[in-house]
Structure formats: C-alpha cells, structure tokens
Amino acid sequence: MSFTYNRTVRFQDTDAAGVVYFANVLAMCHEAYEDSLAKVGINLKTFFSHAAVAVPIIHSRVDFFQPMFCGDKLLIDGIPQRLSDSKFEIKYQVIDADSPQRHLADALTRHVCIDTNTRTKIILPDGMIDWLYSTTRYGKDIS
C-alpha cells in the first residue's frame, strides 16, 4: 500500500532550461509526505515546529528518467517502509498523470527519529507508527 499525491509542475519548479530543477523533485516528494501525514490526523504545525521529537531526513536520492516541464500533471506515489525502531524510508515514484505509463523519476528519503534536545535516536512516536501502519501492508513489522 502507498499514498498518492497529485501535483502540477509550476514555473518556480523549473530551471533556466525549462525543466524541473533536481532539488525541487525532493521538495515535491516532501509535499506528498506532509499530505499523507495530515490525512491520518497528524497536526503539521506541531509536528514540524519546535517539538521534543524530530524526524529529519538523513539520506535522499533522485533518479530521473524523463524531463518534467511547467504545467505537467504528476502523480507522486510514496511507499513508506519501517527500517528499525527509529528509522523509516519512503520510496517515491513520480508518474505523468496524463500518461501513467510515463515513469518520470524515482526518489527516496530516509528518516531517523531523534530527541531534539539531545540529538540522539529515539523510538518513533505512536503517531508515526500509526502513519506507517496506515500506509503500509506490514505497518508495525520491522523489516
């Protein structure tokens, strides 16, 4: 199971050549992640601002297969997977919404849960476990 986010490429997402700038693909994927959190009831304002717990990205990657242009309609599918008590990753597929056979890009973000005061790893909070469980087949199973 996964989550899906619809996104239209905006002019601001593109570079001087008129194609989506590489870093903006990760920003779009992060929008998809935020949307999926909100859909399971996680309050984004408190989740991302000055909480005792943070879930920063510790690794990311993007692979491009076809260019994306201003006005393109995208489907961003995210598949989260729990890696340990404190880590998870999300694999993304970016697809052309008008031609779903056009696979445009793949991305990955890996996250770790930390205590914001000590900057040490901690167990994912229940809200994140619930989110993982709601978006994956195996939820609480650690792979």
Would you please indicate which residues are annotated as catalytic (active-site) residues? Answer: 15
**Three-state SS at 71:** coil
Secondary structure E strands in the chain:
3-8, 53-54, 57-64, 73-82, 87-96, 103-112, 114-115
Specify which residues 6 forms β-bridges with: 75
Q: How far apart are CA 102 and CA 111, in angstroms?
A: 28
Tokens of 129: 């476990």
